[in-house]
């Protein structure tokens, strides 16, 4: 039976459309070759250029398309010289995160053979962990609303039972999915600062309670400062890491650094009903319009989307295609033949995306 999924596509700004178009082309070809699922795509206007044109960065009609879709694929958004009147950045992805309660920011960090990394990797090791960043509260709770007087500034750290329980359930489910797929180590690490802050002792309490429901998964704790050290010294030891919003913000950039930059870093923001998939990098206005953008982070985000839909709707073919797509990108990177300039190659966006299609060898 063919199940139909509707994908809301935000083409975004700068290189956004340039990497979205070949990504949708790949997804279409995979879906067309499958008897088990079909995909439709609805282009959804939003972003900085749209704001400059219409005065609205995320129109209500686009919000509605996003809300009623099965998944949201979002390309890079924002432009340096287009801002709201109060000077803040235009980032509809953050509005979506709030409006759809996407509490789990999922940042996979992988370094495989052939991939550039600033670390010296011991033979036989590879990096393959997932950092989950709580994305709706924590130290971002008073974001933009902190209290500042002449002599004092205050922001609030908010940890709630409700969001923490959902977050940890998600983390343990992900560890189990990874373990069952033969990929993970069956480990979840709670990253916090429970030795100093009562809020993080509370965070840990909910983590430990969820851990008790998963005797098959190893649960442990780590302080955020030590975690930063270990992410550099022995990142191959991690499997699933789960942390507060600000800690996750910082550690996910460290993770991107391990991967040799943003060109291969996908991400997902996941809630109970909705999810947004997007590359970690920005809209790269310096190279926009030249066909030079690296599409791999966008394509890897699309692979995460297939994986998530496949798990949510128990569609094994979709999950298989998610894995195939990720492995196709990894194979192109490992061979090193057709890479964009940011990865040391000489090729453009369409060549790189074409190499992924070839690696998929869709009949």
**Taking Cα atoms as reference points, which of 91, 135, 157, 119 lies closest to residue 267?**
135
Give dist(CA 60, CA 44) in Å, integer. 11
Nearer to ligand ATP, 62 or 340 (CB): 340
* Distance from C-alpha of 302 to C-alpha of 304, rounded to nearest angstrom: 5
Size of the site for ligand ATP (CB under 6 A): 15
CA angle 315, 278, 280 (to 5 degrees): 135
Count of residues touching Mg ion (by CB under 5 A) = 1
Q: How far is the CB of 76 from ligand ATP (least distance, A)?
A: 6
Pick one of 17, 255, 282, 354: the residue that binds ligand ATP (CB under 6 A): 282
Q: Are strands 153-154 and 147-148 parallel, antiparallel or unpaired?
A: antiparallel
CB 197 within 8 A of CB 91: no
- Comparing CB distances to ligand ATP, the nearer of 210 and 342 is 342
Q: Does residue 252 belong to the site contacting ligand ATP (CB under 6 A)?
A: no
- Is residue 264 a contact point for ligand ATP (CB under 6 A)? no
Task: Output DSSP code: residue 83.
Answer: B
Interaction mask 67-86, ligand ATP, x per CB under 6 A: -----------x--------
57 counts as binding ligand ATP under rule CB under 6 A: no
Closer CB to ligand ATP, 44 or 301, in the complex: 301
**Residue of 287, 299, 329, 353 that binds ligand ATP (CB under 6 A):** 287
Residue 244: C-alpha distances to residues 59, 129, 139, 177 (Å):
30, 17, 8, 22
> Rounded to whole angstroms, how far apart are CA atoms 77 and 85?
18
Does residue number 254 form part of the binding site for ligand ATP (CB under 6 A)? Answer: no
296-312 vs 16-32: helix axis angle to the nearest 10?
40
Check residue 342 for interaction with ligand ATP (CB under 6 A): yes
CA distances, 113 to each of 110, 245, 259 (Å): 10, 31, 12
Q: How far is the CB of 262 from Mg ion (least distance, A)?
A: 8
Contact pick of 293, 299, 300, 339 for ligand ATP (by CB under 6 A): 293
Tell me whether residue 117 is exposed, middle or buried, using C-beta atoms within 10 angstroms of its C-beta: 0 to 12, 13 to 18, 19 or more: middle
User: Which of ligand ATP, Mg ion, none is residue 184 near (CB under 5 to 8 Å by kind)?
Assistant: none
Q: Which partner in ligand ATP, Mg ion, none is near 93 (CB below 5 to 8 A by kind)?
A: none
Taking the least distance from each CB to Mg ion, the nearer of 281 and 326 is 281
Of 134-142, 170-178, 241-249, 282-290: span binding ligand ATP (CB under 6 A): 282-290
Q: Alpha helices of 74-185 — where are they, by DSSP H?
A: 92-99, 161-180
* Residue (76 or 303) nearer to Mg ion, CB: 76
Catalog residues that contact Mg ion under the rule CB under 5 A.
Answer: 282
Residues found near ligand ATP in the complex (CB under 6 A): 15, 78, 262-263, 281-284, 286-287, 293-294, 297, 340, 342
């Amino acid at each position: 039976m063919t199940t139909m999924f509707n994908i809301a596509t935000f083409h975004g700004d700068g290189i956004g459309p340039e990497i979205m178009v070949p990504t949708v082309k790949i997804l279409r070809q995979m879906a067309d070759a499958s008897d088990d699922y079909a995909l439709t795509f609805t282009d959804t206007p939003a972003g900085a250029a749209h704001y400059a044109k219409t005065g609205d960065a995320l129109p209500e009609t686009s919000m509605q398309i996003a809300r009623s879709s099965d998944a949201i694929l979002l390309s890079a958004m924002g432009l340096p010289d287009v801002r709201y009147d109060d000077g803040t950045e235009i980032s509809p992805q953050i509005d979506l995160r709030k409006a759809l309660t996407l509490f789990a920011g999922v940042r996979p960090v992988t370094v495989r053979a052939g991939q550039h990394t600033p670390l010296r990797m011991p033979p036989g090791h590879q990096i393959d962990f997932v950092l989950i960043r709580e994305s709706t509260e924590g130290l971002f709770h008073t974001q933009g609303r902190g209290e500042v007087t002449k002599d004092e500034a205050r922001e609030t750290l908010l940890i709630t039972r409700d969001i923490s329980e959902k977050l940890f359930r998600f983390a343990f489910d992900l560890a189990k999915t990874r373990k069952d797929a033969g990929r993970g180590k069956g480990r979840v690490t709670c990253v916090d600062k429970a030795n100093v802050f009562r809020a993080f002792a509370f965070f840990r309490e909910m983590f430990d309670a969820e851990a008790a429901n998963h005797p098959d998964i190893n649960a442990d704790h780590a302080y955020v400062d030590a975690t930063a050290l270990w992410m550099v010294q022995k990142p191959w030891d991690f499997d699933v890491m789960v942390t507060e919003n600000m800690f996750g913000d910082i550690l996910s950039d460290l993770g991107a650094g391990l991967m040799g930059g943003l060109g291969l870093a996908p991400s997902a923001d996941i809630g109970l009903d909705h999810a947004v998939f997007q590359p970690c990098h920005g809209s790269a206005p310096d190279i926009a319009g030249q066909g030079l953008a690296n599409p791999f982070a966008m394509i890897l985000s699309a692979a995460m989307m297939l994986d998530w839909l496949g798990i949510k709707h128990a569609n094994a073919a979709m999950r298989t295609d998610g894995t195939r797509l990720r492995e196709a990108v990894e194979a192109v990177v490992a061979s090193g033949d057709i890479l964009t300039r940011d990865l040391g190659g000489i090729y453009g966006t369409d060549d790189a995306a074409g190499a992924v299609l070839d690696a998929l060898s869709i009949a």
